[in-house]
Amino acid sequence: MNIKTLALSCAILPLSGLGAWAANCTPALSAGATITCTGSTLDGLVSGSLDDVTITVETGALLSNTADHAIKLDDRITVTNSGVITSSAKDGINTDKDLHLVNRGAIIGADEGVQADDRLLLDNYGTIIGADEGVEGGDDSAIYNEGTITGVDDAVQLATGAYIENHGTIANVYAGGTDPQDAIDLDDGEIFNLGTITSTYDAAIDFDANVANDATPAEAAGDAFGQGYVYNTGTIAGKQGVTTDHRANSEQYIETYGLISGWDGTALDLYGGEDTVYLGVGSVIDGASFFGTGDDYLIFDLSGAALTTDLFDGGDDFDTVSFTDYLFADIASFSWTNDVLELVFNTGFTTYLSSWERYAFATDTGVDVYDVSAFLPAVPVPAPFVMLGSALGAFGLIRRRRARRA
Ligand SMILES: [Ca+2]
Ligand SMILES: [Ca+2]
Ligand SMILES: [Ca+2]
Ligand SMILES: [Ca+2]
């Protein structure tokens, strides 16, 4: 069953048991109106120019349209949906700026599920399905999701200043559409994932820096878009877990205690900018991680947990890897395969590192820092060449180590 068939069948289901087919949204649509929909209304609420309309679709109600969007209004629209809003022709909901939407029912679009613009505020406890994108918003939009948002194109596409908190499912469910993309596509912003973010076709999360396709590398390097923070205790899985625009110079900070997986072999592809990945207890990184250009940071704070057998590649420039739970003396063995360093600790924890220039190990009193010469074969293990306790305190190494022993 393709997504459109699914959408239609979902739309039809609630009709059984509904006797009346009259328009049941009252009062009539006008600017500033407060409208309640019960029963079934089959020609939608459609006006391209009306502002400040408040709509409540009650439990059991159907607001549908086979010829246009189910809801088409302009700015500052508020929708609270406990029923079904569906269009078999266009979007479920289509507005301009400042859509405030609370969904506890189902919103289904033959094109987008929800098409809004800047300052979209969405609280979703139900289901939003787009045969193209699930939810599209503009700058400074925020989504809180405890339900399910799916799209054949991006499940969620936001622009700059995005905030997403996910406790449910956000999924690209490409199954034969024409423009399959990511689970979440955003220019820059923050994502807190305690649920599931997956894509069957492309990245789970794409910081799409909005760099012009014809930008030169120098132009792209000056582009501030694409910066992002990702906090994860759930699942982030796609062709890549988290990817970024290779032309931009944006910084990503990723803090994870859950799974980040890339089925094409790349879990994290962070490209330019000074990127940081913090791996806490419970982390699983399935796929290689590429940090790209810029002085990047990788922090292991795992309390000895197993992590991954995949590669962490610092890429160009001066990159630092930190071990919060291990001393240099806890290394059981190390070896090189081409330019990949295999580090095996005495707990059995093993990691594979390439192109890291600085190696920091927490101690009881500070941080010991080594350069790569510490891992060159047939060279006696040197003493730490720099003490950077205060500088590396920013990573929490000293505080955490002390706290653990207290
Ligand atoms: Ca980056
Ligand atoms: Ca980088
Ligand atoms: Ca780098
Ligand atoms: Ca490097």
Q: What does pTM read for this prediction? A: 0.86
pLDDT band at 48 (very low <50, low <70, confident <90, very high): confident
Residue 387 has pLDDT above 80, yes or no: no
Residue, of 147 and 347, whose pLDDT is higher: 147
Amino acid code (one letter) for 243: T
Q: What is the pLDDT of residue 259?
A: 95
Closest ligand (CA of 207): 1
Rounded to the nearest whole angstrom, what is the distance from the C-alpha of residue 387 to the centroid of ligand 4? 20
d(CA 346, CA 340): 20
- The residue-averaged pLDDT of 235-251 equals 90
Please write the tens of the pLDDT for every residue from 356-381. 999 999 877 788 999 999 998 654 44
Residue, of 371 and 16, whose pLDDT is higher: 371
Mean of all residue pLDDT scores within the chain: 86
Residue 57's H or E segment, with its range, is strand 54-57
Q: What is the pLDDT of residue 377?
A: 66
| CA-angle at 281, arms to 301 and 267, nearest 5° | 85
Rounded to the nearest whole angstrom, what is the distance from the C-alpha of residue 355 to the centroid of ligand 4? 4
Rounded to the nearest whole angstrom, what is the distance from the C-alpha of residue 218 to the centroid of ligand 3? 18
Q: Which stretch of 165-169, 372-376, 382-386 has the lowest confidence by average pLDDT?
A: 382-386
DSSP string computed for 340-364: EEEEEETTS-EEEEES--EEEEE-S
Q: What is the pLDDT of residue 226?
A: 72
- Tokens found for residue 372: 């790569």
Residue 123's H or E segment, with its range, is strand 121-124
Q: Which stretch of 118-132, 285-299, 391-405 has the lowest confidence by average pLDDT?
A: 391-405
Q: Return the sign of the alpha-carbon dihedral for residues 121, 123, 126, 127.
A: positive
Rounded to the nearest whole angstrom, what is the distance from the C-alpha of residue 295 to the centroid of ligand 1? 10
List the shell of residues around ion ligand 4, using CB closer than 5 Å: 314, 319, 355
- Tokens found for residue 238: 């796609």
Rounded to the nearest whole angstrom, what is the distance from the C-alpha of residue 274 to the centroid of ligand 1? 6
Please write the tens of the pLDDT for every residue from 289-310. 999 999 999 999 877 555 666 8
Q: For residue 126, give the nearest of 84, 93, 158, 157 by alpha carbon.
A: 84
Rounded to the nearest whole angstrom, what is the distance from the C-alpha of residue 155 to the centroid of ligand 2? 26
Please write the tens of the pLDDT for every residue from 227-238. 899 999 999 999
Rounded to the nearest whole angstrom, what is the distance from the C-alpha of residue 253 to the centroid of ligand 3? 14
- Break the chain into its structural domains and give their ranges: 3-211+223-318+325-337
Closest ligand (CA of 353): 4
Rounded to the nearest whole angstrom, what is the distance from the C-alpha of residue 356 to the centroid of ligand 4? 5
Closest ligand (CA of 249): 1
Rounded to the nearest whole angstrom, what is the distance from the C-alpha of residue 61 to the centroid of ligand 3? 54
Rounded to the nearest whole angstrom, what is the distance from the C-alpha of residue 145 to the centroid of ligand 3? 34
Residue, of 94 and 362, whose pLDDT is higher: 94
**pLDDT over 90 for what percent of the chain?**
70
Q: What is the pLDDT of residue 224?
A: 54
Omega before residue 27 within 30° of 0, cis: yes
Rounded to the nearest whole angstrom, what is the distance from the C-alpha of residue 272 to the centroid of ligand 3? 8
Q: Which stretch of 34-48, 268-282, 380-394 has the lowest confidence by average pLDDT?
A: 380-394
Residue 211 has pLDDT above 70, yes or no: no
Q: What is the pLDDT of residue 215?
A: 64
Q: What is the pLDDT of residue 186?
A: 94
d(CA 82, CA 127): 10
Q: How would you write 257-293 as a 3-class SS string?
A: CCEEEEEEEEEEECCCCCCEEEECCCCEEEEEEECCC
Residue 406 has pLDDT above 90, yes or no: no
Q: For residue 215, give the nearest of 206, 207, 223 by alpha carbon.
A: 223
Rounded to the nearest whole angstrom, what is the distance from the C-alpha of residue 247 to the centroid of ligand 1? 10
Rounded to the nearest whole angstrom, what is the distance from the C-alpha of residue 91 to the centroid of ligand 4? 47
- Interior/surface letters 149-181, b for 16+ CB within 10 angstroms, e for the rest: bbbbbbbbbbbbbbbbbbebbbbbbbeebeebb
Output DSSP code: residue 384. Answer: P
Number of residues in the chain: 406
Q: Which stretch of 14-28, 119-133, 214-228, 391-405 has the lowest confidence by average pLDDT?
A: 391-405
Rounded to the nearest whole angstrom, what is the distance from the C-alpha of residue 315 to the centroid of ligand 2? 7
Q: Are 154 and 182 in contact (CB under 8 A)?
A: yes
Output DSSP code: residue 43. Answer: B
